[in-house]
Structure 1
Amino acid sequence: MLYHLLYPLHTTISAFNVFRYITFRTIYASLTAFLICFLLGPWVIRKLTEMQIGQYIQKDGPEGHHKKAGTPTMGGILIVSSIVVSTLLWTNLNNCYIWVLLLVTIGYAFIGFIDDYLMLIRKRNKGLTARNKFLMQVILALVAGIFVYVCMDFNTRVTIPFFKNISPDLRWGYIFFAAFVIVGTSNAVNLTDGLDGLAIGPVIVVSVTYMAFAYVTGHAKIADYLQLTYVAGSGEITIFCGIVAGAGLGFLWFNTYPAQIFMGDVGSLSLGSIIGTVAVITKQEIMLILVGGLFVIEALSVIFQVGFFKMTNGKRIFKMAPLHHHFELKGWPEPKVIVRFWIIAIGLALISVSTLKLR
């Protein structure tokens, strides 16, 4: 809204010309999202506490987690609200990619909200059934994939990192590929959200990384120089990624160990869907395996654990899955697990950025 209200005034007041620059709007959009979370955080924590919306801790989990029972959760509402408000204020709302991202953000937040609501307020033991939850995610991801497919004559080729001459064109099949990326990333972030600040830290790192990808793929000359697929209009996604990073930092202020609030499924599902959608729009879908490698590792640890358990009649690869619980049960203090996983996420992000020059 600020962009649409103030930028047209640049013809009479030259100072408003700064609103045309993506870098300027990214900085202030990020700060806006941060301040919304930072300033409203105490009020949200207080209200959730008054409503007795507290975290449920499984009895078979690590013993140190039992003291977290009752910590306010569903804090993802704060994250999503700050993202939506900041996006409406600072982005070009004529850009269809922005609306696709708002669709998945609000849609997946709604799915997470229903799940959290049934579990925490209606006291259903496991919230939504796995089938219903997955079905809702797939339908919403397919809708997002269709919108991306028809948005601004979108390129349906899949970019393969390190191989500039290999980019298979999926045509209409790209819709299903995009849905797979969005659903997979959403659930991977959800599985990672098990310790104080463990998920939001890597989300910030991945958002900043894709902020760089969005900027270069949306700039015709830079994209051509780096031999990347140019995506017209994707530069605006830089601002959205900055907003996610800013909101994440604001939430981390309260979510850092020992956490005053948890994001719940309403936060983790929506943040994961955002990352997956951004990867699709910027044509860095396969690169997400490296950029979000920590989320991939956490998801695979669950898949391997369940598969091995079924095939061997009860044997386990890890002491507990997802992987962060394995290291807790090995005796690592929770803060050590969190920070070391953050370090891994940062390292993977740096490697992924370096690939921009490897073609």
Structure 2
Amino acid sequence: MSLAIAGIETHLVATPLTPPIVHPFLGARTRFVSLVVLVHTEGGPTGFGYVTGESARQMAAVGRIVADLAERLKGADALCRTLLYEQMWNWTVDLLHEGAATLALAALDTALWDIAGKQAGEPLWRLLGGYRRSVPAYASESLWRHLGIDELERQGAALVERGFDAMKLRLGGRPAEEDVERAVALRRAVGPSVKIMTDVLWALRPDEAIRLARRLADSEAGIFWFEEPVRDGHWDGLRRVRDQGLVTVAGGERLSRLADVHALARSVDHAILDVHHIGGITPWLRAAAVLEIADLPISVHIAPEIQAHLVAAQRTGAWIEYMSWWDALFEEPLQPVGGRLTLTDKPGLGLEVSSAALRRLAVEG
């Protein structure tokens, strides 16, 4: 049985951030601009995928790549995902697969997997293996670098009241002693049983990261992991930090080349993947297979409504990074209860895109 692609529809939308995020190198972020991709089939289901970024013009450029691929994909069998992925990869070879082309492939590939689940009548988490249907989620839409101790304590306590037993604190933008003080203050505010993930956002040199890791290890902060302490792609530096054995080192969210998965596996204690950055569900699964062989826990960066299915299907699947920034796109968004995301039996991704939201949130690129 085949399922021909009838056409591909794109929408450029912006979801607001209130309050804005003060990012270390992108400035004040007031919104996320997302490219929503809908793949329609002849007489069959429609698949959904999306990718997200900072700039409407940049995401519109990704949309132009999707439009180019859409012309080539029309009439192809939507169920032949591996073949279509390799063809899309080859069609975008001149773009080098390190940015916009990879994002375009991610949106289309996700939609094709959504179609596969819908056509099979199975939710994606079960179609991919069904190891579990409920996955733990940590809160990640607060506790930013620019916040003072009083605000960190207030926000941390509020997250516990909402049912979260894990949360992320951003570090790396202050002297080490101040970062440690902030982590200890958060620990005292949330209690001993809450997991505190820390994210340094690639801010430090290896020697600086080791010094901060040592201070944290010697403190009362009791952090769960120490994420992305050194410059993106600096595998030797990341390995130096990990080999100190001071804290659990996590990383990998910017991984966009499958060739780098082995380097990641040798450099961290806890792997983090991003289905957008790596180019879609097809390459995500390939990366996860390597990490599973290395017996590493696998957590994910953003896109919780998609990546919850992927983590749920993995033996070593660990944590979902949860934020509600894209909930407005869906009729019934996936939301945590008691700090966990529980997936349904709805086929595919189990998501219905809101037509009203696509109109209301539309932007020009």
TM superposition score normalised by structure 2: 0.26
- Structure with larger RCO (C-alpha < 8 A, sep 6+): 1
What's the TM-score, normalizing by structure 1? 0.26
